[in-house]
Structure 1
């Protein structure tokens, strides 16, 4: 891809965003060097990898590959037998530990889950846990080797500690003893790796030893006393032994790394590749992007495409097609209306897709494989365009006109602007015709009316426009394919306050053909708006019909269930009736046999016959379906309905409460449990509920209240397991309901336990005026675990 097109379409900004998502240095370098591919198989593989990584991110959350350092140089040194430094060995250890974390992340929760394109890469990782554990055992940090790295190092450091203690003991004796008066300060210091004491210059003869340094003024000499010279020599020798042993340890670790060099090198390569892939997936997640479908037929079909560099909360999604019914799209419309954004969106999403990146569109959007993208895009929005600007654009166009072929995508922004309109329009038509004849996929934005006519008159070429709202003088940024854009210059000027006489004079300056063409565009725009409004209404009607259809299906399903239940009950009743009849018949036959064999009084036979007739009559009464007498339904008016009235909604056979007054059309809201529905007054039936008068409410003027759930309140309340506050709150409501229901006594179950709940209940009962007395339960009533309360009459 040519670099000029990449810059014009702002592809480097996408690469910057991608680079930020990578964790490792090498991964960031892969992101920075990412360029669009022209190999279809490579593109599809990269897209699948991005999709699979995105799926894992959604399932398991984010993943970090850590600060994987570039250890390729260290591995090369191992090949020639060199030993690695502490920093290099720790870098290898860091890679192995990161590899272990990534390997753990890749494990599937179930073995039956399907595999993906990343499985082979994850499977190729080798954490080499024993090696990383050994490195961490030996090396504590970049400056410190562990004492346990080897037995020899442990012994050397033990000897160093003993020698160091002896040196400090000797020097402490001098500093705090015989040499104290000769010292500048009572401290022990170190010069050139040897322990010394600061002696005043005039007393240097009083402290025999080796002078290693002096102060800047010369008043202090740093002397190593003769008594510690041998100890210091021993310490220096031990330090050299320590350094030599450390080199042995590092060499041994380097040898162990060299043994696993091939696996470590593969780990590095796979970790970097995975870092690169998951960076692409993280960018896709941030952009809410999806995998495009690629084809090599030059067909583009972007659904709800968004420019990835514009805030996704502000950008207006657009639908763009190219390469199916037409291979040349001419976009017209007002300035700042989104023409250039539409152009850049197509170009940039094409480059992103061919780079293995997901694109911010709906699923199943299509992109074509292009070997080259040519773009002539610049800030051509100014009314002051010079010849040099026109020349520079023409130079750019000339540079790729001869190179473009059927596998190229060509993008023009304000083609041939900046020169005489008549000549510019003619030249633009000629350039577009040249590209169209060669079957090159092309998109161009323009202000020229001649290009609108050109697109209307030629086959394989389509108009498009960026919608503009004349009423608000603002663009909607919607791209409408198949409709040429209208100038709107006169309408905008009129809205902004230009006198109508000036606008009419301007209309006279344009020829009749142009005016007629603008009228046609106006008519098309009005027709389009009408059709879109009708489509919206049809969609709403479809939604309503679908909702009604579902309601009808649900109702029919309920009716079928009720029908089956009624039939089943009827069959059971019929079976029972038949069984009774059979029993009666058996008994009758026994009696007849008895009467036949024995002498029986005629009166006894008649009594048995009467009893049998009564049983049959009872059976007939059970089987008969009583026909209820229908009362004439009272037609309700708005005057009959009051807020709070209890009514029955006939169509739903539900009881509810009136919550609003009827409106002018007779509609009102009824609250039926948790359902609040708007119904017509003709669908309601008033329900007369019994009322009761209570002593507590008669004094307040409330008079009568409707029968509530207190009429069926239980004679017992269970407070077990509740805190005192919870129990008192529940008890307060219960006692009110019980008193209103005219219960004489109630039973409170509070349990024995610690007695706190019982005490809290009794304290509350002491303050209740409508409680005459209370006592603990007796034997058989629950003992001390319950309290019996008696109300006032």
Structure 2
């Protein structure tokens, strides 16, 4: 696709908006290289990735990708045998640790049976190197400092340094705090040339002996290393040199360990950048309320309530823009400042964004085409260098377009034929549109020429359109009207501004009769459209009200039958109970009669008569007819459990998800982060909870909808966003009755950790807080206890 169209429509500005959400160098590279594609398969993959990213943004708050620097130069140095410094190794270690975190993150998504179109494809390309990652994390901290755990030798050297420094300080403290304080400019211990010294007044330089290392700018103070600590400072210096040598050895060793895996590390960084870019597209979509369009196989474009991304979203007027299905050419007429050019740019820019795999600013059910080329002639492109007039410049562009255009092209012309004699310009505009129509190109053009208002009625696959103008307020509404050509509002505006009616009537008489008839026809169309729109809105209101009443009636109807069946069941049960009691009583009577017969020798009651009497008594019992009770059948069916169902665990009062059958009448249930085997009698089917618009990895919900997890993960969050989530999370945890929770904020620069500490100090419900134990994150996590 030609690059000129990207500049004309402002594609780079849209990329800049997305760029503010990218945190990795690799993600920025992916965005910089992004251009629209004309390959439908590639576009489908890009859009699927964007849809996956939006889904994961909604379910988990996005993919956890931290800030990562470009490690390509480091890997190049490794390739040629050079050693990396601590900061460079820390940057590589961040890639490896992020890779492992992403592998765990996607494993959790997979266990939750969350499906994606493309995300798992990228996750499979990540290569986890746990041994190397563990070694780097032990040896290098996030700031690039070599840690004491890097080697036993380094640990011993640093312990010696600390002991020696402590001895030197104790000796010097004894000097500055004793009777010698009067010889000092200040009672402090400081350093010069990496050696501990004290500030001595110039006139007392011989009191302490030793070595002078520096003096103040005035010369009144000398920084002297007393003779008591010269040997100790020498020893300290030897330890420091040993430390430096050991660090150099460790860095060389770690660099050598990276060499066999440089290709995997580079590819991991690339995949992380792709995921970061996907995250950015999703966050842009959420911020701008954008959607992923469907690709129409017939190249029919329908952008529902489309908005231009570079206009203030609180002021922009959305419009339905469609082309391709019923018509391939749209001619927009009407006065200036009505929004014609913005409509033209909105169509072109949203189509380009779609073909670049970006979410577009429209509503659900929007569809896009796939064009091999998008051409545009928008704005005044007069060239001083080439001595071309505005008209000549436009014509040069149009000639170039006509040479390249075909049935897979979208052409956008602003003020077609402008800049020359109106009659000739209109004729040229019509001829150009005919030529584009003959090549089956998709065209949207704006014009002032009244001749083109009739064009849409006389040409197949062509329709007129205009931008609505409110004569009452003398201002445009910026609404696109398909099927209604624009008309001049000069007479109405002049009348409202006070021009005498005689002048207006005379102007109407002078005006060409055909043009006046056309304006009257357009005015009639507008009136009919407004009337139809009013009726449509009224009908929609009635349909909506009828649908609501129908829904309420269905609910009431279902409730009535359910309650009736319940009452009938109670009645049958009661009747059965009475009959059972009667049967027992009758059996006793019959037994007594038979005993009396046998004892007294009276005429025997025939056995079949006794059986018949007993049968009649049994016939009094009411059948519950459960198999014919549709309401109870539905309830019984609802009780049937299967994998993936959401259930209510009655013994705990918590919601969970069925994982698998654990035995006869036993299920394995996921409750928050716990997996438990529970009896089926303890489980009740529960309606799925509606997904929120955004959810972070540790989602906070109220106790009546789903459990609050006892850990909040803030790694990768911005400062303000993180504090807001902490505020909401603590409220939810307190309501859930937790005695304590854990907040994972990472180590990083320490700004987020300090911000959370300051916040917890002022929280009235926080009893105490402390960093987690070393095996649970250390100062990268804070344990909070409540009152």
TM-score range, shorter chain: 0.5 to 0.7
Can you give the 5+ residue segments of structure 2 that lack an aligned partner in the other structure? 382-386, 598-787
Match of residue 93 from structure 1: 93
C-alpha deviations, 1:105-132, integer Å up to 9, x for none?
3322745443431012224334545544
Q: Secondary structure at the match of 1:426?
A: helix
Query: Quick check: 2:26–2:269 contact (8 Å CA) kept in 1?
Result: no
Query: Quick check: 1:376–1:397 contact (8 Å CA) kept in 2?
Result: yes
- CA–CA distance in structure 1, aligned partners of residues 350 and 450 of structure 2: 29
> Deviation at 1:308?
2.3
> Deviation at 1:563?
8.9
- CA–CA distance in structure 2, aligned partners of residues 490 and 292 of structure 1: 43
**1:546/1:234 Cα in 2 relative to 1: closer, same or farther (>3 Å)?**
closer
**1:505/1:51 Cα in 2 relative to 1: closer, same or farther (>3 Å)?**
same
Q: Secondary structure at the match of 1:12?
A: helix
Q: Secondary structure at the match of 1:330?
A: strand
Match of residue 425 from structure 1: 426
- CA–CA distance in structure 1, aligned partners of residues 195 and 51 of structure 2: 64
| TM-score normalized by the length of structure 2 | 0.65
* Corresponding pairs, count: 584
Query: Quick check: 1:23–1:64 contact (8 Å CA) kept in 2?
Result: no
CA RMSD of aligned residues (A): 4.2
Match of residue 234 from structure 1: 235
Match of residue 410 from structure 2: 409
Query: Quick check: 1:179–1:207 contact (8 Å CA) kept in 2?
Result: no
Match of residue 360 from structure 2: 359
Matches within 5 A, 1:154-193: 154-164=155-165, 167=168, 190-193=191-194
**1:230/1:420 Cα in 2 relative to 1: closer, same or farther (>3 Å)?**
same
- CA–CA distance in structure 2, aligned partners of residues 206 and 315 of structure 1: 81
Match of residue 31 from structure 2: 31
Query: Quick check: 1:307–1:315 contact (8 Å CA) kept in 2?
Result: yes
- CA–CA distance in structure 2, aligned partners of residues 205 and 317 of structure 1: 86
- CA–CA distance in structure 2, aligned partners of residues 534 and 144 of structure 1: 73
C-alpha deviations, 1:477-527, integer Å up to 9, x for none?
332222222222222222232211111111112222222222222233333
- CA–CA distance in structure 1, aligned partners of residues 555 and 174 of structure 2: 102
Match of residue 286 from structure 2: 285
Match of residue 451 from structure 1: 452
Match of residue 244 from structure 2: 243
Query: Quick check: 1:387–1:419 contact (8 Å CA) kept in 2?
Result: no
Moved more, 535-544 or 22-31: 535-544
Match of residue 255 from structure 2: 254
**1:301/1:80 Cα in 2 relative to 1: closer, same or farther (>3 Å)?**
same
Residue 440 in structure 1 maps to residue 441 in structure 2? yes
**1:239/1:415 Cα in 2 relative to 1: closer, same or farther (>3 Å)?**
same
- CA–CA distance in structure 2, aligned partners of residues 507 and 543 of structure 1: 46
Residue 519 in structure 1 maps to residue 520 in structure 2? yes
Q: Secondary structure at the match of 1:21?
A: coil
**1:512/1:350 Cα in 2 relative to 1: closer, same or farther (>3 Å)?**
same
- CA–CA distance in structure 2, aligned partners of residues 52 and 224 of structure 1: 66
Match of residue 788 from structure 1: none
C-alpha deviations, 1:577-627, integer Å up to 9, x for none?
9x99xx9xx99xx9xxx9xxxxxxxxxxxxxxxxxxxxxxxxxxxxxxxxx
- CA–CA distance in structure 1, aligned partners of residues 194 and 555 of structure 2: 94
Q: Secondary structure at the match of 2:477?
A: strand
C-alpha deviations, 1:503-556, integer Å up to 9, x for none?
111111222222222222223333333333343444445455556666776777
User: Who wins on radius of gyration, i.e. which is larger?
Assistant: 1
**1:559/1:372 Cα in 2 relative to 1: closer, same or farther (>3 Å)?**
closer
Can you give the 5+ residue segments of structure 1 that lack an aligned partner in the other structure? 381-385, 595-793
- CA–CA distance in structure 2, aligned partners of residues 467 and 110 of structure 1: 54
> Deviation at 1:343?
1.0
Matches within 5 A, 1:305-316: 305-316=306-317
> Deviation at 1:283?
1.2
> Deviation at 1:196?
5.0
Q: Secondary structure at the match of 1:108?
A: helix
Q: Which has the higher contact order (CA 8 A, sep 6+)?
A: 2
Moved more, 358-367 or 183-192: 183-192
- CA–CA distance in structure 2, aligned partners of residues 563 and 191 of structure 1: 95
Match of residue 375 from structure 1: 376
**1:463/1:576 Cα in 2 relative to 1: closer, same or farther (>3 Å)?**
same
Residue 271 in structure 1 maps to residue 284 in structure 2? no
- CA–CA distance in structure 2, aligned partners of residues 40 and 211 of structure 1: 77
- CA–CA distance in structure 2, aligned partners of residues 36 and 432 of structure 1: 26
- CA–CA distance in structure 2, aligned partners of residues 540 and 174 of structure 1: 92
**1:404/1:160 Cα in 2 relative to 1: closer, same or farther (>3 Å)?**
same
Q: Secondary structure at the match of 1:497?
A: coil
Query: Quick check: 2:87–2:145 contact (8 Å CA) kept in 1?
Result: no
Match of residue 719 from structure 2: none
Q: Secondary structure at the match of 1:145?
A: coil
C-alpha deviations, 1:70-93, integer Å up to 9, x for none?
111112222233221011111122
Query: Quick check: 1:298–1:441 contact (8 Å CA) kept in 2?
Result: no
Match of residue 471 from structure 2: 470
Q: Secondary structure at the match of 2:20?
A: helix
C-alpha deviations, 1:461-484, integer Å up to 9, x for none?
211122333344343333222222
- CA–CA distance in structure 2, aligned partners of residues 216 and 79 of structure 1: 49
- CA–CA distance in structure 1, aligned partners of residues 190 and 544 of structure 2: 91
- CA–CA distance in structure 1, aligned partners of residues 180 and 558 of structure 2: 110
Query: Quick check: 1:306–1:345 contact (8 Å CA) kept in 2?
Result: yes
> Deviation at 1:54?
0.5
C-alpha deviations, 1:30-83, integer Å up to 9, x for none?
223321112211111000000011111111124442111111111222223322
**1:526/1:69 Cα in 2 relative to 1: closer, same or farther (>3 Å)?**
same
Query: Quick check: 1:20–1:28 contact (8 Å CA) kept in 2?
Result: no
- CA–CA distance in structure 2, aligned partners of residues 176 and 520 of structure 1: 103
Matches within 5 A, 1:389-788: 389-543=390-544, 546=547
> Deviation at 1:202?
6.8
> Deviation at 1:272?
0.4
Match of residue 45 from structure 2: 45
**1:150/1:425 Cα in 2 relative to 1: closer, same or farther (>3 Å)?**
same
> Deviation at 1:322?
1.5
Q: Secondary structure at the match of 1:42?
A: helix
**1:185/1:425 Cα in 2 relative to 1: closer, same or farther (>3 Å)?**
closer
**1:482/1:86 Cα in 2 relative to 1: closer, same or farther (>3 Å)?**
same
- CA–CA distance in structure 2, aligned partners of residues 515 and 115 of structure 1: 59
**1:334/1:230 Cα in 2 relative to 1: closer, same or farther (>3 Å)?**
same
Match of residue 339 from structure 2: 338
Residue 22 in structure 1 maps to residue 22 in structure 2? yes
Query: Quick check: 1:198–1:222 contact (8 Å CA) kept in 2?
Result: yes
- CA–CA distance in structure 2, aligned partners of residues 532 and 206 of structure 1: 102
